[in-house]
Structure 1
Amino acid sequence: MKRSQTSAAHVTHWVRGASLAAVLAMTGALAACSSAPPLFSSDGRPTTLVQCPSGSDNCEQQAQAMCGGAFDTMRTTTENGVRGLLYACRGK
């Protein structure tokens, strides 16, 4: 009798742990989806996200170097001293 009670408690503990793991995995997946930048601009050009210290023009320099010149800024963010620049290269 004692063996079946121990087994039932073990199964209940395992199910709770599995449920928690599933909830955490789903939460992480949803957070990743909501914070990811778009992969393409509205006109179909691929976008790139670069990060640099806030207050510097390093993000623009990186974008110009990668695009070989002109680019369009899709979005900029600043958080915790880091600036993010989402850009798409202009056609040549």
Structure 2
Amino acid sequence: MATGWAGDGAVQDQIDATVSDAVKRARRQLRQGPGLTHCEECGEAIPEARRQAVAGVRLCVTCQEAHDQERQASLYNRRGSKDSQLR
């Protein structure tokens, strides 16, 4: 592939840098710390095992599942247009 003045590995280096930046950005967005002892939605106690497994946990399992379902439903494309689904 002709790349002009770029070196042989320049394209792969750019891809690697883009992936690395995306991973760093995602890691910065992860919650950190001990988390809450009680769910901020319903007030139910969050088990110690969950608090140790999920850093910065704020919701109990039941509320987290409901939150995930709401988020998943909002990502669904209801228009059904193939063009909009391919974007």
Q: TM-score, normalised by structure 2?
A: 0.36
The higher radius of gyration belongs to 1
Q: TM-score, normalised by structure 1?
A: 0.34
Greater strand content: 1
